[in-house]
Homo-oligomer: A and B are copies of this chain.
Amino acid sequence: MAELTYRQAVAAALAQEMARDDRVVLLGEDVASGGVFKTTGGLRERFGADRVWDTPISEQAIAGAAMGAAMAGLRPVAEIMFADFYATCWDQVANEIAKVRYMTGGQVSLPLVLRGANGSGGLGFGSQHGQSVENWAMTVPGLKIASPAGPAEAFGLLAAAIRDDDPVVVFEHKALYGRKEAMPDTGPDGEHVLPLGQARTVRAGRDVTLVGLSITVGTCLAAADELAAEGIEAEVIDLRTLVPLDAAAVLSSVARTGRLVVAEENPGQLGWGASIAAIAAQEAFGDLAAPVTRVSGGNVPLPVAASLEAEVDVSVSRIAGAVRGVLGASRPLSSTG
């Protein structure tokens, strides 16, 4: 397949799935004209007005309409323009969509996708348009959560989310929309689709396990490069999805490296990284040679001025520094495994 930017990958995944299954319908603000992040361009023209619906500024109605349509057997994909706006429809997402299959004893399925632009990434969007809020979604059982780190992931995970019979929240990173890469064919018939719940080792290493998601995968890789020059070999894992979580991939890496650093863009107070750290502290305790360390977005609402924003965003140097700290604080491995 061709080289695509992350935003083109989103549009292409939508097109692939809309062509494949006419139950896939889109709704959201300005989506008919291509969307403010240009992730739905050309879809109305190609698939018609019955497949791509513009909405008023009514996030509750958007999320609720997606839910109702999914119950009726469609496979809606709702755009919530900025992930911060999930707050305006949190009841629909957290109290209805996440729970209705369970509450009804399995009478209904919700094959729906909520997707939108997440994260800071140094673009100056501030506290109400620049947050990373995967942690909001992860507090709620019943939602699957995907957070692609690059164009191929954006394509494959979104396609998988659309095919999944459960509600999936896809967090696209707004600072990655311009990134470009070639799409590998991964499915039958040359389709591109990735499994949900399977992490990806993006770099192998023996000394420490670096766990990232979305934009921090790239930051971890850059830190790994920096550390390699010092002779430290970091293994970098892209979780891809938080739910389902491929904890086994993390645990098996830690079993080899004995050290774990988690890099998350959301604030650390209760970020997804805490969940990874807690799992390791419980299940990999015997493997750990050093404290489990987290590098998180600043525990503040996000500032706008570039000098302030750079101060709180996760950076290569903070990750590399954490790794050096972990290696310095290591004790000999207690087990021989």
**Partner-B contacts on A (CB < 8 A):** 84-88, 90-91, 93-95, 98-99, 102-103, 126-128, 133, 135-136, 138-142, 243, 266-267, 269-275, 277-278, 280-283, 285-286, 288, 290-294, 299-301, 303, 329, 331, 334
Contacts and interface: CB of A to CB of B under 8 A. Distances in A.
Contact of A270 (B87, B88, B127, B272): B272
A334 B300 CA distance: 36
A275 B91 CA distance: 24
A141 B301 contact: yes
B138 A269 contact: yes
B243 A269 contact: yes
A265 B270 CA distance: 16
A135 B90 CA distance: 14
Contacts of A128: 95, 99, 103
Contacts of A93: 87
Given A270-B272, A292-B285, A293-B282, A91 B88 contact: yes
Contacts of A286: 291, 331
A275 B270 contact: yes
- Number of this chain's copies in the assembly equals 2
A270 B276 CA distance: 9
Nearest to A126: B103
A85 B94 CA distance: 10
Nearest to A322: B282
A274 B282 contact: no
Contact of A127 (B87, B102, B292): B102
Nearest to A60: B88
A51 to B, nearest CB: 29
A300 B141 contact: yes
Contacts of A283: 291
9 nearest A-B residue pairs (beta carbon): A281-B281, A90-B90, A277-B278, A285-B291, A87-B91, A99-B301, A138-B270, A274-B274, A281-B292
Given A87-B93, A102-B300, A139-B269, 12 more contacts: A86-B90, A88-B91, A90-B94, A95-B127, A99-B301, A102-B301, A142-B301, A270-B270, A273-B278, A282-B291, A285-B288, A285-B329
A102 B267 CA distance: 15
Contacts of A86: 90
A94 B95 CA distance: 16
A325 B86 CA distance: 39
